[in-house]
Structure 1
Amino acid sequence: MDRLVAHRPQQRHGRPVVTGRRGTSPSDLLETFWGMSGAAVTSLGGGMNSETWLVEHEGSTYVAKAVSRAAAADLATGGEVATTLARSGFVTGHPVPTRDGRMILTDPPLALLRHVPGRELDGEADEEQEWIASTLAGVHAASDPAPGPSPAAFATDWLDPRMPGVTAHPWLVAAIEAVRAETDALTVTWATLHTDPAPEAFLHDDRSGVTGLVDWAGARRGPVLYDVASAVMYLGGREHASRFLRTYLASGPLRAEEMRHLDAFSRFREAVQGVYFAGRLASDDRTGGVDRADNEKGLTDARRRLAALGVAT
């Protein structure tokens, strides 16, 4: 199976800066803005677009997450989505407001998130695919699914041939044009999307049987098929994701007729993947513990999968 590195395609910025200067370290910020004096703070390392710490304070556990200033608005929007879904009963790792009621701290950008117990899934077992599908379908069903505007209005900041590095790859420019031509005229269901539902974003608590979904910094409203296509991509394609697809169709808001457009949105998703890695290569972005070869592989893999889905590359 083709395993992928999870990422937020819209965040193409450098590693977040939370320095060790007095007053700006995670411990100092937690004390100043959340009143957590004496909290135990342990680094969890950096992801593709963020840095995180485990926070323990007075018997409770949290996760602090820092992003770049350019990504602060996405972090705040994701926090609002996670909070709304948590009120509906979903486990989302939603943010704890600062003492003055802000969803996140903006200077520097930092969120304090509820810790979600459980183990990261990998989607290899049928049972795990069922948990992933049921959780994602529940989120979509709970967020007012309805026919939306043209998909042309979606991801205009992600899928644009003018994005950095794209014109260096003529095949990618052509792919963007092809997937836009294929999807822009479709009438499909829109709902609140996670946008990056990789298996590791799903945490399953074996004791309670509850599966949480975390990492909401890319959340926005859009075509539900984009989330479904993203999940299928991360699971290794339609054949390997068969249990996920059956479970999602049985419990989600999409009818079988609309699911016929899944391949079109899989091509759309792979084009987004290509733009993301083209941008990382153009800026030599190595955040997330990857090197240039990893970014080159990400772009090559997106091209290969687009070709497998019928796009001339």
Structure 2
Amino acid sequence: MTNHDEAATVRPLTMAWVNRHLAAGERVVATEALHGGITAEVRRLTIGTRDGGARDLVLRTFVGMEHAEDWLNRESGALSLLAGSDVTAPGLVAVDPTAAHCEYPSLLMTHLPGRTVLADEGLEARVPALARQLVAIHAVRPAERPREYVALTTAETVVTPKGADTAAWAAAIDVIRKPVPPYEGRFLHRDFQPGNVLFDVAPAAPADARITGVVDWAGAAWGPADLDVAHCSAILALLHGPAWGLRFAEAYEEAGGALAATAGERLYWLVRDALASSEEVGVIARSWRESGRTELTARAVEQRLDAYVTALMDALG
């Protein structure tokens, strides 16, 4: 077996667990660390088959994460649910949420073709594709609902960026102090954004990008469609500029999705997720730089967040 780097190495107990879930005559012949994730170690495992061929699996390992058991139970449940849906997601192979067999809580799943695309080029075509995919996710009707969403950000935990438009931020923080608007529940991804969507895209034709699957279902929950839309909008604003955050909600409706009835209700969800981003700007920016967007320093992302919050308050506040 070959390792591309130390981060790709699978720990001994975990490797033994993986081997127990392979077919007779199969073995792991190579491992590769996949970068871009924030909460888990992710590795691609190349499996040599009995006939001399190969297939890939993906191993997600949560090291030192307080809620790993909950996340892995939710993700494995979501993958099982989606196996019979129109949404392309990895297939569940095995899960060890309590680390009964592995060094750390782990999940083994099938590997999907495609790659994440974080570049600005071709965004005009990818945003409508993202919106159509999210509409399809929200159309899933599980026989058993996942748990209700949890909004962790509060008015007291928001981190106002240095040099921000303090009046706009104060007004935005006041918005999330209001009662939660009424909503019709939907099946949510809860981290739907470009970093968790795989595309088949040729370098010479970025406008022809086609979604091949959606990954990272650890946050799957039940709640308002607006919450997933708001999250993707915020990430698009930070990754590509505030205008793209505003554009995504429009694209979602153009794709047939239904959002909250009033501007005030929509503002609540959009602002809530934008303000949630304020608490993890450094982590988000570092992940993107590791994926090749080296210009996205924490300060650059903070400035985009400030511009986005201000734009939301101007447009809907």
- Fold in common (TM above 0.5): yes
The unaligned stretches of length 5 or more in structure 2 are 1-6, 143-147, 202-207
| Aligned amino acid, residue 139 of structure 1 | I
Aligned residue for 1:228, secondary structure, equals helix
CA distance in 2 between counterparts of 1:244 and 1:296 reads 24
User: Contact 2:135/2:256 (CA < 8 Å) preserved in 1?
Assistant: yes
Question: Quick one: structure 1 residues 67 and 46, their matched pair in 2 at CA, closer, same or farther if it must change by over 3 Å?
Answer: farther
Match of 2:82 in 1: 85
In the TM superposition, what is the alpha-carbon distance from 1:29 to its structure 2 partner? 4.0
User: Contact 1:104/1:111 (CA < 8 Å) preserved in 2?
Assistant: no
Report the TM-score, using the length of structure 2 for normalisation. 0.68
Aligned residue for 2:187, secondary structure, equals strand
In the TM superposition, what is the alpha-carbon distance from 1:162 to its structure 2 partner? 5.9
| Aligned amino acid, residue 159 of structure 1 | T
CA distance in 1 between counterparts of 2:134 and 2:30 reads 33
| Aligned amino acid, residue 62 of structure 1 | L
Equivalent of 2:123 in 122, 125, 136: 125
Aligned residue for 1:212, secondary structure, equals strand
Match of 1:271 in 2: 275
In the TM superposition, what is the alpha-carbon distance from 1:115 to its structure 2 partner? 0.7
Higher mean C-alpha displacement, 135-144 vs 257-266: 257-266
| Aligned amino acid, residue 234 of structure 1 | I
Report the TM-score, using the length of structure 1 for normalisation. 0.69
Match of 1:305 in 2: 308
Q: Identity, % of aligned pairs?
A: 21
Higher mean C-alpha displacement, 133-142 vs 251-260: 251-260
User: Contact 2:42/2:59 (CA < 8 Å) preserved in 1?
Assistant: yes
Aligned residue for 1:310, secondary structure, equals helix
User: Contact 1:97/1:103 (CA < 8 Å) preserved in 2?
Assistant: no
In the TM superposition, what is the alpha-carbon distance from 1:89 to its structure 2 partner? 3.1
Q: Could you list the per-position Cα deviations for residues 126-163 of structure 1 after superposition, in whole angstroms to 9, with x for gaps in the alignment? A: 3322221111101101136xxxxxxxx8534x213565
CA distance in 2 between counterparts of 1:241 and 1:298 reads 13
Question: Quick one: structure 1 residues 162 and 78, their matched pair in 2 at CA, closer, same or farther if it must change by over 3 Å?
Answer: farther
Aligned residue for 1:70, secondary structure, equals coil
Aligned residue for 2:278, secondary structure, equals helix
Question: Quick one: structure 1 residues 259 and 277, their matched pair in 2 at CA, closer, same or farther if it must change by over 3 Å?
Answer: same
Q: Higher relative CO (CA 8 A, sep ≥ 6), structure 1 or 2?
A: 1
User: Contact 1:27/1:39 (CA < 8 Å) preserved in 2?
Assistant: no
- Mapping of 1:177-192 within 5 angstroms? 177-182=173-178, 184-192=179-187
| Aligned amino acid, residue 15 of structure 2 | S
